[in-house]
Structure 1
Amino acid sequence: MFTIEHDFDATVITLVDETEPGVRPLNEDVVIQSFDDRVVIEQMEAGGDGVSRVVLSLRQLDELRAALNLPEGQYRLARRP
């Protein structure tokens, strides 16, 4: 399950880990905040002691999107002028 909310300066997507009972431990929700210049991905740490946070520039997000659909190798995306 996931939710999408539009805040004043960001779009917030929350991914909820839904799994069959007893299959594996549930992971904490993943919260993705999309701003004009960056994307922030957050998840509570397993012990609940803090939050793990990854900040991606929009360029890094484009590269990640491309990487998900490419075979193993080294790549550089061409930029349009």
Structure 2
Amino acid sequence: MFTIEHEFDATLITLVDEGEGGEDWLQEDVTINAFEDCVTVEQYDEHTDTVMKVVFSHAQLRELAAALDLPEGVYRLRAQKAEG
């Protein structure tokens, strides 16, 4: 399950782990904040009692999305020209 909220300066997405097939061990919610200049991913870590945060540039996020569908290797995404 996930939620999407549009706030003044960001879009906030929360991913909720509902488990698959009755799993007992669920992960903490993941919160994604999409800002104009970056995207942050946050998750509470119960072992350290802190919220862990990773900051991605939009270019890094595009590369991550592309990497999920590619085999092992080294890649560089090419800039796409706008059509119009």
Q: What is the aligned partner in structure 2 of residue 10 from structure 1? A: 10
Identical aligned residues as a percent? 56
Q: What is the aligned partner in structure 1 of residue 31 from structure 2? A: 31
TM-score normalised per structure 2: 0.86
Q: Distance in 2 between matches of 1:5 and 1:72?
A: 35
Please identify runs of 4+ aligned residues in structure 1 that moved more than 2 A.
Answer: none
Q: Which amino acid is 2:26 matched to?
A: L
Q: Which amino acid is 1:43 matched to?
A: Q
Aligned CA-pair RMSD:
1.5
- 1:9-46 per-residue CA deviation (whole Å, 9 max, x = no partner) reads 0000000010244x231111000000111000000002
Is 1:79 aligned to residue 79 of structure 2? Answer: yes
- 1:23-77 per-residue CA deviation (whole Å, 9 max, x = no partner) reads 2311110000001110000000023610110000000011001101111100011
Q: What is the aligned partner in structure 1 of residue 56 from structure 2? A: 56
Number of aligned residue pairs: give it: 80
TM-score normalised per structure 1: 0.89
Q: Secondary structure at the match of 1:62?
A: helix
Residue segments in structure 1 that go unaligned for 5+ positions in a row:
none
